[in-house]
Amino acid sequence: LPMLILGIMFWIVAIKNKTLSIKKEYYTYALAFSIPLIVHSLSIYVLGQSDRLMIKYFCGDHFVGIYSLIYQYAILITLITNSINQAWNPWFHDNYALKNYELIKEKVIPLIAFGCYIGIGCIAVAPEAIKILGGEQYMSGLQAVLPIALGVVIEFVYTQYVIIEMHLKKTTYVSIGTVVAAIINVLLNYLCIPRFGYIAAAYTTLVSYFMLLMMHHFISRKVLGVHIYKDKLIYAMLTITVLTGIILSNLYYHIFIRYIIIVGISVVFLVYNKEFIIDKIRRKSR
């Protein structure tokens, strides 16, 4: 509130003293860049909240509580992926401006692999995590972890295409993709939740994020003509993540086998990404 009052006072004094100068080209550019991002943010909000609102409408508050806890657990992945993007985005913009496309192509793969690994880990330890966070009464929502966690991983991947649109200042494409995905999500929730129950909301979210990935991939490659990623390798990693997640989710009641698989995956990840990990450790220690 104090900052709002100071801001209003600043504008009043500036207008009164005629020290305020408005340049049409500046605010025209700012509005053209920012308004689509406002639409994008609103659509992301709808995409994230519509499932719980419609679960409440069709199924009741009890199931909203179960779904919300499962959702909050699964999106813990974003704490890591958002941190990665905060470090990656400035580096990407600098190197894209310098046309270091091969370097970008090389460096993005370990990042996506790490995101996939975190997603698999989230799926793998879900039974134990849900028991700790909520108790036995929330275990009925366990089957929602797989689609929600996979959706978050796919969200992390599609942001690697969105950053291209942002760099080229094509924010309209960013908003179009998100608006379409939000509409699809609401329609699928309306059709599927009454028929299949509240778990359907997790799968509609997954479908919506996959549609976002497809749209932004198409925009970056076909509309903007940018080819800087190893797309086949990225989709191969996503496919492996999905298949591994399905296997682990079917082993929720076989804890010993599940943790053997987790250890094996961790060893493989560490071996194939040791240079990436060592580099990050060195950067942190400086």
- Output the pLDDT for position 276: 66
Q: What is the mean pLDDT of the chain?
A: 87
- Output the pLDDT for position 282: 60
- Output the pLDDT for position 156: 94
Between 17-26, 72-81, 259-268, the lowest mean confidence (pLDDT) is in 17-26
pLDDT level of residue 275 (50, 70, 90 thresholds): confident
pLDDT of residue 33 exceeding 90, the answer is no
Mean pLDDT for 5-27 is 66
Considering the chain, what percentage of its residues have pLDDT values greater than 70?
A: 87
Give the pLDDT confidence of 201-252 residue by residue, as tens digits.
999 999 999 999 999 999 999 999 999 999 999 999 999 999 999 999 999 9
pTM: 0.87
- Output the pLDDT for position 280: 57
- Output the pLDDT for position 256: 94
- Output the pLDDT for position 50: 87
3-class DSSP string for the chain = CHHHHHHHHHHHHHHHCCCCCCCHHHHHHHHHHHHHHHHHHHHHHHHHHHHHHHHHHHCCHHHHHHHHHHHHHHCCHHHHHHHHHHHHHHHHHHHHHCCCHHHHHHHHHHHHHHHHHHHHHHHHCHHHHHHHHCCHHHHHHHHHHHHHHHHHHHHHHHHHHHHHHHHCCCHHHHHHHHHHHHHHHHHHHHHHHHHHCCCHHHHHHHHHHHHHHHHHHHHHHHHCCCCCCCHHHHHHHHHHHHHHHHHHHCCCCCHHHHHHHHHHHHHHHHHHCHHHHHHHHHHHHC
- Output the pLDDT for position 42: 83
For the chain, the domains span 27-254
- Output the pLDDT for position 234: 95
pLDDT level of residue 278 (50, 70, 90 thresholds): low
Mean pLDDT for 41-59 is 87
pLDDT of residue 135 exceeding 70, the answer is yes
pLDDT of residue 174 exceeding 80, the answer is yes
pLDDT level of residue 270 (50, 70, 90 thresholds): confident
